[in-house]
Amino acid sequence: EPRVFSGVQPTGNLHLGNYLGAVSRWVPLQDEMPSIFCVVDLHAITAGFPDPKELSAATREVTAAYIASGIDPAKSIIFNQSQVKEHAELAWIFNCVARMGWLNRMTQFKDKAGKNRENASVGLFAYPNLMAADILAYRATHVPVGDDQKQHLELTRDIAQKFNNDFAERIRELGIGVPNPTPSPELPDELYLPLTEPVIAGPATRVMSLRDGTKKMSKSDPSDLSRINLTDDADAISKKVKKAKTDPEPLPGEMDGLKDRPEADNLVGIYAALAGMAKEAVLAEYGGQPFSVFKPALAEIAVMRLAPIAGEMRRLMADPAEIDRVLKDGAERASAIAQPVLRDMRRIVGFLDVR
Ligand code: TYM
């Protein structure tokens, strides 16, 4: 059965990249398929333990951002990862499925660990295994994310595929597999774990820094001018758009003209995503115009789209007990799905069940 799963780490402010690349894309999906949206607090400790009070506060803030962006907690499941123990349990099994060589190739690990790999936590190295566990504990089929998560989702498929292959006999014996939707000679006819589809689409799958069009917009950039935060007010948004780096040329009329103009390309992509347009349509409208015309239009649409979200987040955060109720209800509904999957996974592996 189709199911959506995705998540955001509660590490500091959500920014426009998280919103356009991920959260805003989840909203229409929740009407198409049962959906689960997780605040991945177990992942948030892999790059060093944040201040404990800040971690809890950020967990509530990300939850508020989901709801304020249009995720409906009555329909979709919203919860924080640490409250459903199946994630950590399945991640352990996957630690024994994934190969060191696979994880050694992960570009995000290389980026985050930097030069001093010996000093990176084991958790940071195993981060993609936990991500695979998040998805596969629900046997989710569709994972909407930004472009930077593509490699992690390929690893998730590799893990599912190796597990399905290594335990093909056992899965058939237990009669708990589902027919492989894409039969091939290399794959067993019955799979237990689905081969997940990444959903990476739209004009803003990779939003770049406003200060440097070759760098990804990120929570960890020391310059706050490099990103628009979901909690920024109208003045802050306008100021950041105004100060965004550009080149001196007017906007091109065609997509070709955006080549080798990373800053222009980025701002056009942001505008397109905010306006629900294709980049081509934005260029048809603004081609030939200077940034002194385009930037105020961009600031206006950014404020129009984002200010109501910031306002709704503030309103929700004034009542933390209500946020916690949403998370508690979500954790219970998530557990009800993950528990039977883990029961199956333990049987497949052969853990002796004595209780
Ligand atoms: P995180 O918190 O780093 O990012 C959350 C989501 O935001 C997207 N994103 C961007 N999209 C476009 N432009 C950007 N500049 C940009 N920066 C971030 C990310 O691609 C992501 O979709 N590992 C995940 C969290 C996670 C997860 C999962 C996701 C944990 N388990 C299971 C899906 C399924 C992450 O990158 O979080």
9 CA to centre of ligand 1 in angstroms: 7
pLDDT digits (tens, 9 = 90+) for 167-223: 999 999 999 999 998 888 888 999 999 999 999 999 999 999 999 999 999 999 999
Query: 3-class SS at 177?
Result: coil
Quote the domain boundaries for residue 292.
224-316
Which runs of consecutive H residues, i.e. helices, occur in the chain? 16-18, 24-29, 52-69, 86-95, 100-104, 107-113, 122-136, 150-166, 168-174, 234-243, 262-275, 279-286, 291-317, 320-349
Q: Would you say the CB of residue 150 lies under 6 angstroms from ligand 1?
A: no
pLDDT digits (tens, 9 = 90+) for 227-245: 999 999 999 999 999 999 9
Is the full-model pTM beyond 0.95?
yes
240 is catalytic: no
Q: Would you say the CB of residue 17 lies under 6 angstroms from ligand 1?
A: yes
Tell me, yes or no, whether 165 and 269 share the same domain.
Answer: no
215 is catalytic: no
pLDDT at site 181? 87
Q: Does the residue 110 lie in any domain?
A: yes
Tell me, yes or no, whether 190 and 280 share the same domain.
Answer: no
Q: Which of 85, 150, 219, 239 is catalytic?
A: 219
State the Cα torsion 69-145-133-340 to the nearest 10°: 50
Q: Does the residue 71 lie in any domain?
A: yes
Tell me, yes or no, whether 330 and 302 share the same domain.
Answer: no
Each residue's pLDDT, cut to its tens digit, for the chain (355 residues) gives 999 999 999 998 899 999 999 999 999 999 999 999 999 999 999 999 999 999 999 999 999 999 999 999 999 999 999 999 999 999 999 999 999 999 999 999 999 999 999 999 999 999 999 999 999 999 999 999 999 999 999 999 999 999 999 999 999 999 999 999 888 888 899 999 999 999 999 999 999 999 999 999 999 999 999 999 999 999 999 999 999 999 999 999 999 999 999 999 999 999 999 999 999 999 999 999 999 999 999 999 999 999 999 999 999 999 999 999 999 999 999 999 999 999 999 999 999 999 8
Q: Does the residue 354 lie in any domain?
A: no
Q: Does the residue 336 lie in any domain?
A: yes
114 Ramachandran zone, left/alpha/beta (phi>0; psi -120 to 50):
left
What number does the ligand 1 atom closest to the CA of 219 have? 17
Tell me, yes or no, whether 282 and 230 share the same domain.
Answer: yes
Q: Does the residue 97 lie in any domain?
A: yes
Amino acid at 129: N
Tell me, yes or no, whether 175 and 42 share the same domain.
Answer: yes
173 CA to centre of ligand 1 in angstroms: 37
Q: Would you say the CB of residue 6 lies under 6 angstroms from ligand 1?
A: yes
Tell me, yes or no, whether 28 and 153 share the same domain.
Answer: yes
pLDDT at site 234? 96
Tell me, yes or no, whether 178 and 130 share the same domain.
Answer: yes
Tell me, yes or no, whether 160 and 114 share the same domain.
Answer: yes
Tell me, yes or no, whether 174 and 285 share the same domain.
Answer: no
Tell me, yes or no, whether 194 and 100 share the same domain.
Answer: yes
Tell me, yes or no, whether 40 and 155 share the same domain.
Answer: yes
* ipTM for this prediction: 0.99
Q: Does the residue 210 lie in any domain?
A: no
Tell me, yes or no, whether 148 and 121 share the same domain.
Answer: yes
Amino acid at 89: E
**Which one, of 69, 13, 28, 16, lies nearest residue 298 by Cα?**
16
Q: Residue 290 maps to which CATH number? A: 1.10.240.10
Q: Would you say the CB of residue 4 lies under 6 angstroms from ligand 1?
A: no
Please tell me the total count of domains within the chain: 2
Q: Does the residue 355 lie in any domain?
A: no
Q: Residue 108 maps to which CATH number? A: 3.40.50.620
Q: Does the residue 218 lie in any domain?
A: no
pLDDT at site 13? 85
Cα(121)–Cα(70) distance, rounded to whole angstroms? 35
pLDDT at site 183? 86
Residues 297-329: b if buried by 16+ CB within 10 A, e if exposed: bbbebbbebbeebbebbeebbeeeeebeebbee
